[in-house]
Amino acid sequence: MSARSAEPASQGHFEPVPAGRAEGGSPVQNGALSPDRRLLELADQCVMCGLCLPHCPTYRISLDEAESPRGRIALARALTTGRAEPGATALTHLDQCLACVSCQKVCPSGVQYDEIIVRTRAALAPLRAPPSAMQRLLRDPTRLTWLARMGVAMGARRWLPALARVLPTRSHWRALADSLPNLPVSPTWPAARKPPVPRGRVALFRGCVASVYDRDTHAAAERLLTALGYEVRIPDGAPCCGALARHAGDVEAAARHAQAARAAIEATESDVALVSASGCFGDLRDEAMPGARARVLDVHAFIAADERFAALSFRSLPIRAALHLPCTQVNVVGALASIRALLARIPALQVLQLPEQPRCCGAAGNYFIEHPEIARRLRDEKLEQAEQQQPDLVLTTNIGCRIHLGNGLRERGREIPVVHPLALLAQQLENGEL
């Protein structure tokens, strides 16, 4: 999950200190962190007003100050000044942050919480025990994507969760097995005819795990963009934006992933790189593509702003759709008006806006596997809100949220599909070419 500001200000990009090195020397001295001047400067911006507390998911369900943004900032300051030792309790509080940056969105002092949490986790990396097999897997998008494809090929969704019941309830491996989503149905709509003279060339960034479990979304985006007259190019492979590694504090691995993603996008020779998963947007824009030829844009904003979009027609769909706006869409990407404008083009569709709070569903990249109990509590809050609206389907713009919410509905015995807004638009598109 990425955590960049939705505003295009310069504070969105930063250079984290690589694990194993802090400004001014080694990050570890006699079992404690050495001072990180940049981290202290960032922490000092926080005036401890507490306005962020109602917006923090972990504080809201725990009412523990150490599980709040200002509590974690105070902890980061204490660790880097030597007033606290990085023991198991401190690490737990820092690890349980979802990095949703809802706090950063409402902060009157402009505290760059995203950079604080990433720098702190990166500096603490040398003090941690070696990562477990589960942690290595969850932070390796190549392995995750490969396993996702293997799981699909072997039909693991049907038998693996039952097999995992022999594992302890709190086992991360059991949480991983339980989190396997259903594979989205391949679209059956006719392909839009490619324009003989494209209006432009766009790269459609699929991401890593999303390349498997969001394949209907990507097919939908390609259909809509082709109908608007664009040549759509897909970057080779399933490059990762680097968000999973960066939020774990492994900034070196994140940088490698970002470089690979940039190379794959640049190879398409496109003018624009479009992103359909809000969780990939911030890292792709701020870490992978600064200074690149292709601008990184949200696909909803790109389509909604296209002058030809008004000429597309859509079939009526008289159903109720609950719109879930992920943390990354609200706090990082924006384009909320564009999403609503796109959905408004479907006649008779009733779009139900889920309440703003609680916002986070608990997915947060791989958080719902590493911290399943917290993630489940957050998801239950969101699903209860959705079920009160009695929707026929749920819409969301991030793959992690889609998987997490879909699993929760399935556990409740509710056959309510969770789909991306683009998939609904492409399904209802009436004139596939202009």
pLDDT average, residue stretch 208-229:
93
Distance CA 316, CA 312 (A): 13
What is the phi-psi region of residue 269: left when phi exceeds 0, alpha when psi lies from -120 to 50, beta otherwise?
left
- Predicted confidence at residue 93, as pLDDT, reads 95
Least confident range from 23-32, 273-282, 386-395: namely 23-32
Residue with tokens 């039952």: 162
Q: What is the CATH number of the domain that holds 101?
A: 1.10.1060
pLDDT average, residue stretch 12-33:
42
Q: Is residue 351 part of a domain?
A: yes
Q: Is residue 369 part of a domain?
A: yes
Residue 330's closest CA among 346, 353, 304? 353
- Tell me how far the alpha carbon of residue 247 is from its chain's centroid: 11
pLDDT average, residue stretch 38-53:
94
Percent of the chain at pLDDT above 70?
Answer: 90
Q: Which of 127, 159, 174 is the last residue of a domain?
A: 127
pLDDT tens, residue by residue, 272-321: 999 999 999 999 999 999 999 999 999 999 999 999 999 999 999 999 99
Q: Which of 127, 160, 192 is the last residue of a domain?
A: 127
How many domains is the chain partitioned into structurally?
2
The whole domain housing 59 covers: 10-127
Q: Is residue 279 part of a domain?
A: no
Q: Is residue 226 part of a domain?
A: no
Q: Is residue 84 part of a domain?
A: yes
Q: Is the four-CA dihedral 381, 57, 95, 113 of positive or negative sign?
A: positive
Is the pLDDT at 15 greater than 90? The verdict is no
Q: Is residue 114 part of a domain?
A: yes
pLDDT tens, residue by residue, 142-158: 777 777 777 777 776 67
pLDDT tens, residue by residue, 107-141: 999 999 999 999 999 988 887 777 777 777 766 77
- Predicted confidence at residue 20, as pLDDT, reads 37
Q: Is the four-CA dihedral 43, 121, 123, 245 of positive or negative sign?
A: negative
Mean pLDDT of the chain: 86
The amino acid that residue 337 corresponds to is: A
Q: Is residue 72 part of a domain?
A: yes
Asked if 114 contacts 4 with a C-beta cutoff of 8 angstroms, the reply is yes
pLDDT average, residue stretch 256-260:
95
Q: Which of 78, 105, 127 is the last residue of a domain?
A: 127
Q: Is residue 245 part of a domain?
A: no
pLDDT category at 337 given cuts 50, 70, 90 is very high
Is the pLDDT at 74 greater than 60? The verdict is yes
Q: What is the CATH number of the domain that holds 370?
A: 3.40.50.1860
pLDDT category at 412 given cuts 50, 70, 90 is very high
Distance CA 95, CA 89 (A): 10
pLDDT average, residue stretch 340-367:
92
